[in-house]
Each structure stands twice: as C-alpha cells, then as structure tokens.
Structure 1
Amino acid sequence: MWNRVWLALTGLVLLVAGGTTLAGGLGAFGPDRPVVTGAMSQKMAENPWFWPAVAACALTVAVLGTGWLAAQWRSRTLRRLAMGDARAGATRMAARVATRAISADVTSYPGVRRVRTRLSGSARRPSVRVRVMCDAEVDLGELAWRIRDDAMVRLRTTLNREDLGGVVDFRMKREIPAWERRVV
C-alpha cells in the first residue's frame, strides 16, 4: 500500500514540475522572462561547488529511482517453505520439492505439454504460480478445475497449508499443419 502512495506522490510532484516548466516555456508567466536572473547567475558563478552539487543531487535521485523501479519488477521467490503454521515452529522444506510435486501432477493431465511453477510471497503468506503450456484443443475450464480441485488441494494437504493461494497462467500451443509450414 505504501508503495502505491509514494508512487502516486512522486508522479504528482513530477507532473506539477513538468507542467510548470512547460507553462513557463510557453510564456505563461510573462514574455521573455529568464529562468535564472542576473543576481542568481552571479551567485552560481561565485560558488564553484554549485553545479557539481546539482549534478550529485540529480544522480542520487536517478539511482534511487532506478533502484525503486527495479524493486517493483522483482518478486521474492521462496527458497524454503514451512509445512503447517510457520509461527508454531513448523518443519521447513525446500520449496522446489513442492513445486516439483505440483508440476508432476499437472504434467500428467491430458493435453499438457510443459509446466513451470514458482513459490513466491512470504513464509506467512505463500503463493504458487503455475504456468501451463497446453495444446490448443484442451478444454481450459476442465483443466483449470482439475488444477484447482485436484493438484492444489493435494499440495495444500501435503504441506498442511490451507492458506496457500495460487495463480494459473495458460499458454496455448497450436500444432501447425505441414501444408502451413513455410521456410523463409
């Protein structure tokens, strides 16, 4: 939530600054009004540290902004997962064991070609993401039902984690008939 608030505030500040600059450039504050007055220009020239300080501030803002943007793309992948309640000192296991189990279940379903799974979130609120590559002829409703009511239930039962949520992404693979294939 705080991330969205800071993002909105930053966007608002940048929007106001950009709008003010654009309005000034178009002459909204008076014709031929200089951005830097003569007295200000004199002060800048007298202090040799001024422009390096401006550059350092701009570089700091750019680095912080880039780091913040990179943090938005990064999602935390769980390496270890608690079986049962994480606060009650539950047994921990490698997350790849759980992802391999659900991948094996889903891969055994008809029409499924490949499955990739990943556990993310926190130890208290884990989430599984399942990416399924399947044939174009597969009934997605039935496949989604089987994943939700069979594979996910089995995983929750095995891990003793009723709070384990998930997202399933489907990718369709269409076989191209021989007469449609072309070599370019």
Structure 2
Amino acid sequence: MTGDRSRRSARGNRWGLAVVGVVLLAAGLASLAAGLGLFGRGLADSALLGPPVREVLGQQWVPYVVVAAAVVAAFLALRWLMAQGFNDTVGRLVLERGDEGRVEMSESVARGALEEEVADYPGVRRVHARLTESTDAPHLRLALTLDADADVAGVWRRVRSEALANLRRALDLEQVPTVVRMSMTAPAKNPRRILA
C-alpha cells in the first residue's frame, strides 16, 4: 500500500538522519576531547596524520576500501533521493473484490469526474484532486483556487454535500477522508474597463 510506503519512507528518513547526526556528534565530541587532552597529552600534541595513520593510508588495499565505501554511500544516497520522489497517488481503485477477481477503476477517472464537477461550481477557478494512501480505502486531497469574490462557505458546503457524496457513492465507500485546501486568486491589478 502506498500510504504504508510513504510512512516507511518518512520513518527511514528520521532514523537515517538521527544515525548520521549521532555519528557526527560522536566524532566531533571525540575530536574535541582528544584536542583538550582528555585521552592523554600525547594524543593532543600529536599531528592529525601522524606516522601510524600515514602508514595505514599507504597500504595497497586502502584505495579499494575508499572506493567501495564511496559506491555504497552513493547507492544509499541515490536510493534515498528516489524514495523522496515517490508519488503517493494510487494508480487504480478497487471497487469490488471477490473469489472470482476484482473490479477496478483508474484513479484518473474518479479524479477527473470530481474535478469536473467541482470546477462547475460558481467562484471556482481551478481544481486539483489526488486520491492517495490505499487502493481499497483512498484518501482525497483536494486543492481549490477560488475567485476573490467567491462564496467560500457556499463552495465548501457544495463540495461536502455534493461532490464528496458523489465520490463516496461512485467508489461504494462509507467514508473518504479528505483534506480540502482553498486559496483565493488575487484580483487583477489593471482590470480592463469595458466601454459601452
């Protein structure tokens, strides 16, 4: 399910950032402690790349380990970036499921019908809808751009009592959790005057 995937992605982001933060914090505190002489005066007074470190870095296998670590880090970073780009919109909606199969509808059909209906309401300039989370129990995100003089409460009442009711009936669902975001368009700066 897409909602589970996005929640897992968000949880992975939090854990990944927490682990990186803890590692960097530990490295910083260890460096500070070494510089202040908490691990002994000899370590505090020695060069960062002293003879033992230079000897290890001069080994033949070190460049291969560095390249391997860089490839793993690049792979993990690329995977993380790809996970951020996942769209949580469902592709198909399951209307009925039985022993012989299931009946599906394309998300774009349900979304298109809803957008077309709401776009006809007075005062609505633009509509953008997305059905997300799950194919069996979708959630709706509806973004409306209204004219500056639109009746906001009236549009909201019609969306709730007509458009959402029609969507629930079409999908044969008791409820479709919905987030409605409304914004107003700015009035034109230089309205054209119509001369009679």
Do they fold alike, i.e. is TM over 0.5? yes
Q: How many residues align?
A: 178
Q: Percent identity?
A: 27
1:17 aligns with 2:29: no
1:43 aligns with 2:56: yes
1:165 aligns with 2:187: no
Please give the alpha-carbon distance, in whole angstroms, between the structure 1 residues aligned to 2:9 and 2:36. Answer: 35
149-158 or 114-123: bigger deviation: 114-123
TM-aligned CA deviation for residue 138 of structure 1: 2.2
TM-aligned CA deviation for residue 110 of structure 1: 0.9
TM-aligned CA deviation for residue 5 of structure 1: 4.4
Partner SS state of residue 178, structure 1: coil
Please give the alpha-carbon distance, in whole angstroms, between the structure 2 residues aligned to 1:82 and 1:114. Answer: 28
How does the TM-score come out when normalised to structure 1?
0.78
- What root-mean-square deviation, in Å, do the aligned CA atoms of Structure 1 and Structure 2 show? 2.8
- Given the alignment, which residue of 137, 142, 147 partners 2:154? 142
Counterparts of 1:1-184 in structure 2, within 5 Å, are 2-23=8-29, 24=31, 27-29=35-37, 31-47=44-60, 49-84=61-96, 86=97, 89-178=101-190
Letter of the 1:60 counterpart: V
94-103 or 121-130: bigger deviation: 121-130
Please give the alpha-carbon distance, in whole angstroms, between the structure 1 residues aligned to 2:102 and 2:91. Answer: 15
Please give the alpha-carbon distance, in whole angstroms, between the structure 1 residues aligned to 2:54 and 2:110. Answer: 65
TM-aligned CA deviation for residue 46 of structure 1: 2.5
Letter of the 2:14 counterpart: A
Gaps of 5+ in 2: 1-6, 38-42, 192-196
Partner SS state of residue 22, structure 2: helix
TM-aligned CA deviation for residue 31 of structure 1: 2.9
TM-aligned CA deviation for residue 129 of structure 1: 2.1
Contact 2:95-2:136 at 8 Å conserved across structures: no
How does the TM-score come out when normalised to structure 2?
0.74
Change (3 A) 1:143 1:35: farther
TM-aligned CA deviation for residue 33 of structure 1: 4.1
Give CA deviations for 1:30-56 in whole Å, capped at 9, x if unaligned. Answer: 634444552343133122x31232232
Contact 2:92-2:104 at 8 Å conserved across structures: yes
Contact 2:145-2:182 at 8 Å conserved across structures: yes
Letter of the 1:103 counterpart: E
Contact 2:93-2:136 at 8 Å conserved across structures: no
Partner SS state of residue 121, structure 2: coil
Gaps of 5+ in 1: 180-184
Letter of the 2:56 counterpart: K
